[in-house]
Structure 1
């Protein structure tokens, strides 16, 4: 049997182990290198550092490593019996730990949105790499944040108040340290001011004490000023309005200014005060209408603000139907009937007080004829007189015209003596002969418009497409009237028995036809507009309507008395008024006699 211990061999399989085993070692730490090999008998060991002998022994211990300990460590193994040797090498790298990094900035303060921030991170030590962190999240390139090639610089474009704080982490193979958080000093604002009224209500009762408080986010704190109609009222965050009244009505502007950012911004609030209801009146265009023929327009007028209007008939709320229409302060009945006779009342109220007015409306039925006048004559006279009163409410009073031609046994009555129409509209000339007719002629300024002998009709070329005739009554419709049609139109009709009779109806043009749009334009920031008529500020209501921005004033059914108008443009720091603007309104003549 062979004794293996007697075999002479080696050394072979030389290995070096390092403790701690890592790619690099921090200076000041300890490390050991241990060498092993397969050899019989046991070999001798010696160590070389960078090719120079260091010591003998199987292990080398290096206390308090320094940078100079970086290099190649070689273990040589020798067998004195076999006279053979072998070796192995390991590299040791020693690095100095990084220092605590420090962040510096290109400026001590910044203006939001305007400025660019450049942050630089500096740390000492070999092979340092940098990482930037915001709100515990590692920053990468993109958007407003840009890193330099070595990552030691962070650039923030268009800085925001919410940016930061930032930290920088410096590291190498043996250490890592993080800087103190670095906050940015960012000036911003002012933001849009918030106005808080106390008490908060759409309209105030006279005598109430009102406080307006203005707040605007800003760094440094914004300087606040109050303006009314472009005039400075006071400075400060609070505006007290004791014992509020109608003189305090208006738009109050809070302007915020930041003297570092150089920015102005403002917001506003409307202060409205309840004005008591007063001077309630109810007017009717026709107090004695005829059933199934006439219409009645009731208008309820009053003073005050924030008005609520209710209509009543014989103390019962009025219900709208196909004849009765209610639109705010207007009540229209078209046509009337006898059942509409009674007391009409409008009640106007707001949160302060109320008032009312009433009127009596008597509707006449068409009377039966028991006299020498024909039914047509009676109806014609009644309607003519009512029409005179109705139109008189707008432009004066009118006198019914009727020309009598001769025989008492045959008459022709106009349904109304005067016809008022807007330019471009259709004029209806209605006449009522007392008996059957056979022929007739309509003339205007001594020139025939139409001549007829039923069933034949003669119309001049200039009226060919504008005339419609009723052979039975002789009534005429003149279409698309123009300025040249203004004047007296006379009809002469011949009865079947040969009697002739004439009637004249006057055609006039009226106002109320057109709608006017006035637009006010001014340049400047935060402009607000106010319209005035005869030195009185205009508010929405009735025929006058303001656009949402107050730049446009719409006048529906223009009247000769409308205007002149002015427009006042104002900003938080100034106010200017336009030249007076007068409307050119065509209207019907007014004889000047009461109806």
Structure 2
């Protein structure tokens, strides 16, 4: 024990030593026990009593973990932040100095001292103090045991717990009820594979539990089986997993077999995109150092939609109208597929793998295909073309564009023909061949291309002509010219007739007359009467365009007196000559009748009078007609 004395006036050293020696029997601190071994996170009670001489009064009591020379450096644990919330003083200021320290940790491992101070400046520290050791529990177990061995597990700590400890055991967090209760040893004899697990121990009344220790019980594989995921129907293209379930320790090595052939290893055998080729019986083998075992077999029956669908045709080769034809639909599927038949896009009512046509007609030509379907999908075959031979028919010509055809346009004649094999096409304009091929094209049509066209369709089985079609090419006026009736030279008061001639389709119906150097028309219609001198031209119009003629010259001379006399003389002469001619004709007719009467009297043959004198006269008589004279054309002068 140690005691420190504090007095106001200094005293001789020998006196102080005497006081300490004399008083040591009256001062003291007792700890019970002086060594404490506690579990981590548990609560510790440090029991303590103290004494001091009569006549002193206690002013302050506290616990500390430091020993210093200067009494002012003693640290009161109740003022230490690490202890203030965990330390509780259970004693008094008389004799009891017991404390409780909760939630102890490894950092709390120290020597602890009790110290008190009296009213006469006397201070006392109980030395040596209480030694605190904090420990954790730990399970001690063999690393590996074999099924049937005897096993002993021990719950150990770094020091002997001060309190009489009773132990609790846990396996996989479940409390174990053993025959030897509250022992720090756990006996398992014999050990079984079911005893494998994580073992822990604890002290009864304390929450602290030891870390878990794994007890591995070794044994050979058992309960080997195969599970399939996903379960149920397996469809081609799915991802499939086979899992080998095996109970063994150490874990077994897994091998996979399809039939008698090894196909993989590992607990899981995956097929990412299963196909029909993966169908079959599978099993796994589980093996470790203690033995091996096979699973029962499982069967993979892979369902798949129809594939490799095709159509075969019999007889193979040329098919002639009237033959019997059989089509057969071939497909591969699981389960077997239902078959439907199509001609083009139209479904045929007949079903089944075979489609027969007993007497085939040309109308049966076309593309045939079959569709195979089961609950997992469908597939359509490629089409087979059934070709039936026959001569050309339905030959006709189609004109594009339809409607009015104008000179300069592009025109296409298309020969439409139904035949097998395809026919050779020839084109005719009238009776002349002008081209070949299904299409006859005229890039810039002209009026010369007008006429009747037809095509001839010819193959090895016959030929046929289309009905003719007419190309009537429309074009604007062209070759426009002016014709003058009579002479272009007239006298004042007379007129000359001008006629506008043109070539167009349809014929021009609209004509305009112009006098050179004048902007306004001077007349209209196909004929125009000119009354004055000048250079004249016409312009012809139809709905496709217009064109003007070259100019013609009309000259008008002033009328003279001798000319009037001449005109009157000519007119009178003409009348006189006309009267003479009429008289001659009448005399000729009278004479002819007399001759005929005389011939009747003399019974002359009628053939004598075959020739008609009147007709002879008529043939020798010059016709009176107007002479159309084309006047010299000159291009209009630039105005």
**TM-score interval w.r.t. the shorter chain?**
0.3 to 0.5
Q: Which has the higher helix share?
A: 2
The structure with higher relative contact order (CA 8 Å, sep 6+) is: 1
Relative to the length of structure 2, the TM-score reads 0.36
Tell which structure's C-alpha radius of gyration is larger: 2
Relative to the length of structure 1, the TM-score reads 0.38
